[in-house]
Amino acid sequence: MDTKLINRNIETVVKEACRYFSVITVTGPRQSGKTTLIKQLFSDFQYYSLENPDTKLLALNDPIGFLQSHTSGVILDEVQNAPELFSYIQGLVDENRERKFILSGSSNFALMKNISQSLAGRTAVFELLPLSFGEVSLLTQQKTINEILFDGFYPAIYSGEKTPSLFYPNYVKTYLDRDVRDLLNKLI
């Protein structure tokens, strides 16, 4: 199957919110389509993944220079990896409400803690879950409800990138190894 872009129901409301908020935040579980969504909706914004160690180091060594380098808009993916940036973003959007920042992250607890401290009232927050039944139904008109339920609702399955029998066992394993362990380490 060819890899295809999947349109999401949330697209219209996210674009509308960008008219009223300087910061848009998209959270949700890993592999739910956050990066694809924000890159598609804000294709004219500069994209940075703070999962990349070099990008993270650049952002933390000169946060003001990094954040001001693109005046049209900046996408910061996995932004919970650089929580120091939130206060700088707050200052920049307080100085100029026309500045646009699109933030995304999978670690919802860490991300929401920083947003509630620094960006309250400045950001519209959206949670992107895996595909809805309606979104899946548009993609798979020839499948039965049992086949759809068996395949699950993650975009990688329906874009042709992954097969359910390999995707889900590895998704659960990496989720437990990374996210749950990280959360437990923070609690201890």
pLDDT given for residue 109 in this prediction: 67
Task: Tell me the whole-structure pTM to 2 decimals.
Answer: 0.85
E strand residue ranges, the chain:
23-27, 46-49, 74-77, 101-105, 123-127
Q: What residues in the chain have per-residue pLDDT under 50?
A: 1-3
* Spatial separation of the C-alpha atoms in residues 34 and 169, rounded to whole Å: 21
Q: What pLDDT is attached to residue 115?
A: 79
> DSSP assignment, residue 46?
E
- Quick check: 95 and 129 in contact, CB under 8 A? no
Across the beta sheet with 46-49, the strand order is 46-49, 74-77, 101-105, 23-27, 123-127
Give the pLDDT confidence score for residue 145 in this predicted structure: 87
46 phi/psi in degrees, rounded to 5 = -75, 130
Residues 6+ apart with CB under 8 A from 87: 118
Strands (E), 109-174: 123-127
CA distance 153 to 111: 24
102 three-state secondary structure = strand
How many Å apart are CA 19 and CA 47, to the nearest integer? 19
Burial class (CB in 10 A: 0-12, 13-18, 19+), 77: buried
> Can you give the pLDDT at residue 2?
41
pLDDT score of 3:
44
- Architecture of the domain spanning 11-187: 3-Layer(aba) Sandwich (3.40)
